[in-house]
């Protein structure tokens, strides 16, 4: 049975209305993330940015304590918890929007869920830490499953596909089935094709051109394209500070393809793009075959 367009994505103690696309604000409390590393490492900096994103229309705040950019060095669970938990505790006490934790470690997810997080954004796609699915199920949390291969240090050497769309789709279906079998209800699951994770620029464009094919998985799609390097390759602008316009183009096309959640750094600008694209799509616009002709 096809899921209705008007439904909620359910978290531990929250629901996100997905009748129209929404924005997830990125809050990296890391020193080394590719775009905003070091900006929000102090607690008050992080809280100020979260308040700003909520005021600009973020429907969820995604807190990350370990960089997953290509080449990033791994950190211990203890260090990640030291970065994440104080921020989550303060945000949970102050803000009304749901919180997500961006991690692949089940131990970090468990502690974050205990202090107010509603969703786990597993950038390890349920394979880097097999205990993650049990932690999420036992907490009654929501789950974002992202396609990934390898670790950040090695993932770009693993960007080899015969059919990137088919292989990513099969991976996400397999991991969603694993989550369902572990007792996580379907209304608590969203799927992310993992743009930029173990994929080259052509792979990313191929996935973006075929997002409609992922809707057959019967789960909301989450898309993370914000200021990523494939846009710099495409536009000839290597600095992420110059990639907002490219980001907004992908957002608008994502809305037309049926994406429900956009994970971004620039909440206000993306919110405007989402609302505009959504209004146009409501009046009948839909790209034929999911993309432009050659």
pTM: 0.91
By CB atoms closer than 10 A (0-12, 13-18, 19+), residue 96 is exposed
Residue 40's pLDDT band, with cuts at 50, 70 and 90, is low
Strand order of the sheet with strand 142-146? 189-192, 142-146, 119-122, 99-102, 60-64, 22-28, 261-264, 222-223
Assigned domain for 3 exists: no
Could you report the per-residue pLDDT of 204-217, keeping only the tens digit for each? Answer: 999 999 999 999 99
Could you report the per-residue pLDDT of 149-197, keeping only the tens digit for each? Answer: 877 666 777 778 999 999 999 999 999 999 999 999 999 999 999 999 9
Could you report the per-residue pLDDT of 68-85, keeping only the tens digit for each? Answer: 766 667 889 999 999 999
Instruction: Residue 12: name the closest of 106, 81, 95, 98 by CA.
Output: 98
pLDDT score for 225? 95
Q: Which domain covers residue 105, as residue numbers?
A: 8-286
pLDDT score for 284? 85
Whether residue 203 has pLDDT greater than 90: yes
Residue 141's pLDDT band, with cuts at 50, 70 and 90, is very high
Residues 259 and 215: their CA atoms lie apart, in Å, by: 9
Assigned domain for 2 exists: no
Assigned domain for 250 exists: yes
Residues 265 and 225: their CA atoms lie apart, in Å, by: 10
Sign of CA dihedral 210, 172, 98, 152: negative
Average pLDDT, the chain: 90
CATH of the domain at 260: 3.20.20.20
Residue 238's pLDDT band, with cuts at 50, 70 and 90, is confident
Would you please indicate which residues are annotated as catalytic (active-site) residues?
228, 263
Assigned domain for 220 exists: yes
Whether residue 44 has pLDDT greater than 90: no
Assigned domain for 46 exists: yes
Assigned domain for 34 exists: yes
Whether residue 55 has pLDDT greater than 60: yes
**Per-residue pLDDT averaged across 236-258, rounded?**
94
Assigned domain for 63 exists: yes
Assigned domain for 293 exists: no
Phi/psi zone of residue 121: left (φ > 0), alpha (ψ -120 to 50 degrees), beta?
beta
pLDDT score for 152? 66
Instruction: Residue 157: name the closest of 70, 35, 69, 231 by CA.
Output: 70
Whether residue 290 has pLDDT greater than 80: no
Number of domains observed in the structure of the chain: 1
Place of tokens 């997080």: 117
Place of tokens 């993309």: 291
């Amino acid at each position: 049975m096809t899921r209705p367009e008007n439904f909620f994505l359910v978290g531990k103690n929250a629901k996100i209305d997905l009748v129209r696309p929404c924005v997830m604000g990125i809050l990296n409390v890391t020193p080394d993330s590719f775009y905003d590393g070091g900006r929000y490492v102090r607690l008050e900096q992080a809280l100020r940015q979260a308040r700003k994103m909520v005021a600009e229309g973020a429907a969820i705040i995604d807190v990350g304590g370990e960089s997953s950019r290509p080449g990033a060095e791994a950190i211990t669970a203890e260090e990640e918890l030291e970065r994440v938990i104080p921020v989550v505790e303060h945000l949970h006490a102050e803000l009304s929007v749901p919180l997500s934790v961006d991690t692949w470690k089940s131990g970090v997810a468990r502690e974050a869920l205990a202090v107010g997080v509603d969703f786990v954004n597993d950038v390890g796609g349920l394979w880097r830490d097999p205990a993650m699915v049990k932690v999420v199920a036992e907490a009654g949390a929501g789950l974002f499953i992202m396609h990934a291969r390898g670790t950040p240090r090695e993932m770009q050497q693993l960007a080899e596909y015969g059919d990137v769309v088919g292989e990513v789709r099969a991976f996400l279906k397999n991991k969603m089935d694993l989550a369902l079998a572990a007792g996580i209800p379907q209304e608590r699951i969203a799927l992310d094709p993992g743009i930029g994770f173990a994929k080259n620029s052509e792979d990313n464009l191929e996935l973006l051109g075929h997002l409609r094919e992922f809707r057959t998985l019967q789960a909301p799609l989450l898309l993370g394209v914000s200021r990523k390097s494939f846009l710099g390759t495409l536009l000839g602008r290597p600095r992420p500070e110059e990639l907002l316009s490219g980001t907004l183009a992908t957002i608008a096309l994502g809305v037309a393809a049926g994406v429900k959640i956009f994970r971004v750094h620039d909440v206000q600008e993306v919110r405007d793009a989402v609302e505009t694209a959504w209004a146009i799509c409501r009046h009948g616009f839909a790209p034929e075959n999911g993309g432009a002709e050659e």
